[in-house]
């Protein structure tokens, strides 16, 4: 079993934008994240700890300006916290082991897929293509990601 954790080296390797989002609970501007339009098969992992967070098969176009997912690939890796900043009450989503700010979860997702919308910053994620998953230690999740067409 892989141990996922936040290290000083991983934090030091972050770009300024990745640091601002993951370590300072920032938000990237809508429509600007490089993973927003990604349609390749694979998984999305925490940029800091590498813990598996979301599968491409659960990604959908919500129109909100950030990558959106219907569920976590490994629910134990996603923590939900009350966020009452900016004059509203929301549910913040953080990685459980890396403690990275990921984004927020809302109850307005596709009803036929559970009704949730995990609205996630690209800056919090690293994409691992299905072809590379086994080599990078994520082979156990291959059955949750569609085959390359």
Cα separation, 121 vs 107, whole angstroms: 18
Topology of domain 8-133, per CATH?
2.170.150
pLDDT computed for residue 1 by the predictor: 56
Low-confidence stretches of the chain (pLDDT beneath 70): 1, 148-149
Q: List b or e across 28-54, with b for residues whose CB sees 16 or more CB atoms inside 10 angstroms.
A: beeeebebbebeebbbbbbbbbbbbbb
pLDDT computed for residue 146 by the predictor: 83
Considering only CA atoms, give the Rg of the chain. Answer: 14
Using DSSP's 3-state secondary structure scheme, residue 12 falls into helix
Cα separation, 88 vs 15, whole angstroms: 29
* Terminal Cα-to-Cα distance of the chain (whole angstroms): 30
Residue in 35, 53, 96, 119 annotated catalytic: 119
Element spanning 45, H or E? strand 42-46
pLDDT computed for residue 2 by the predictor: 73
Q: Is 64 a catalytic residue?
A: no
pTM for this structure? 0.93
pLDDT computed for residue 81 by the predictor: 84
pLDDT tens profile 45-62: 999 999 999 999 999 999
pLDDT tens profile 85-101: 777 777 899 999 999 99
């Amino acid at each position: 079993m892989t141990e996922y954790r936040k290290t000083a080296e991983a934090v030091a390797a972050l770009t300024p934008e990745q640091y601002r989002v993951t370590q300072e609970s920032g938000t990237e501007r809508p429509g600007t994240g490089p993973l927003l339009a990604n349609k390749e098969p694979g998984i999305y992992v925490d940029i800091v700890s590498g813990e598996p967070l979301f599968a491409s098969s659960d990604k959908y176009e919500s129109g909100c300006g950030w990558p959106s997912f219907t569920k976590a690939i490994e629910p134990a890796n996603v923590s939900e916290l009350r966020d009452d900043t900016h004059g509203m009450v929301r549910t913040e989503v953080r990685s459980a082991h890396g403690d990275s700010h990921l984004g927020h979860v809302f109850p307005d997702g596709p009803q036929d897929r559970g009704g949730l919308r995990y609205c996630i910053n690209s800056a919090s994620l690293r994409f691992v293509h299905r072809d590379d998953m086994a080599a990078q230690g994520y082979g156990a999740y291959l059955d949750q990601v569609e085959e390359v067409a």
